[in-house]
Amino acid sequence: MDTPGTVFARFFVLVVAVVGPAPGSCYGVHADPAIREMIARFDEAKTDPTTVDAAFDFARNVAATRPADPIPLVYEGSLAALKARDGWLPWRRLANLHLALDLMGEATDIVAKAGTPATQRLEVEMVRGITCAQIPTIFGQESVARGDLVHAYADPGFSTMSAGDRATALAWLAVLARRAGDPSASARYLHAARAASFGVADAIWSGR
């Protein structure tokens, strides 16, 4: 029987690294140059494993100087997931996965507080939702991913995002709905994803 570590090592591949937003994209507009650089490094790390460690370290430093800001935390968490994707040792992969979930959970706790700007909440939901959608089912993150992405889709700011970002979120919602045994919802999400970007949607859909 496969252990969780074996399953993780075999299946955890972030498809967003292949078909996700183009380098330089992000889910929010930021005046802080450190956060802009962090996101640029994040986008590069998705397609270049040699940059993941440096991007993670940079995000960690940004988060350390802005402890009340959920944005550095959620990107640090997603970068920890990339470290898990690219690591060699199963136990190190698992450790980085748990770190990723903890950090993204902290970011979500912050944006759940009253008075949080809607733009921050949407960005956290997009980052955590898309990351968690790609974690193997054995780790029980599908309901987290679906909740985040359903909320993001309902947010008025969702329609202002790039076609690739919208297609990525919607295609993963289609995949998650299919896994949950809801073919009607799956078909609706897939249709909307293809309308946003057929190529992005089908790359995710065919991969899962």
Q: What is the pLDDT of residues 47-83, one digit of tens each?
A: 899 999 999 999 999 999 998 999 999 999 999 999 9
pTM exceeds 0.75: yes
pLDDT band at 15 (very low <50, low <70, confident <90, very high): very low
Name the residue with tokens 């292949």. Answer: 18
Token readout for 170 is 């919607």
**Residues with Cβ < 8 Å from 134, sequence gap 6 or more?**
12, 13, 14, 15, 16, 172
Structural domains for the chain: 7-207 (1.25.40.10)
pLDDT at 19: 34
Name the residue with tokens 């997931």. Answer: 81
Q: What does each C-alpha distance from 71 to 39, 153, 201 come to in angstroms?
A: 10, 19, 26
Q: What are the φ/ψ torsions at residue 2 (nearest 5 degrees)?
A: -70, 140
pLDDT band at 114 (very low <50, low <70, confident <90, very high): confident
